[in-house]
Amino acid sequence: MNLTGLLLHQKREEEKYFRNYLLYAKKAAIVAKESLPDVKLYLFGSILRKEATPA
């Protein structure tokens, strides 16, 4: 795979996380609660205002 292919692959992976941010936030919370039962996860910023874009 050439550099362009690698960059496109990386971009697609980032977009996947941006499109499904709530799913991944819930997964992160589940993993964190295994070690820290009282942990709370807060989402904030441009992702919630729908202004965020993958870098």
Identity of residue 38: D
- What pTM does this model have? 0.65
pLDDT of residue 17: 84
Residue 52 has pLDDT above 80, yes or no: no
pLDDT of residue 54: 62
Instruction: Map out the domains of the chain as residue ranges.
Output: 1-55
pLDDT of residue 9: 93
> Where is 51: in which H helix or E strand?
none
CA 23 to chain centre: 8
Read off the pLDDT of residues 8-42 as tens digits, 9 standing for 90 and up: 999 898 888 888 889 999 999 999 999 999 999 89
Residue 55 has pLDDT above 70, yes or no: no
pLDDT of residue 31: 95
In angstroms, the Cα distances linking 42 to 9, 16, 26, 29, 53 are 29, 20, 11, 10, 19
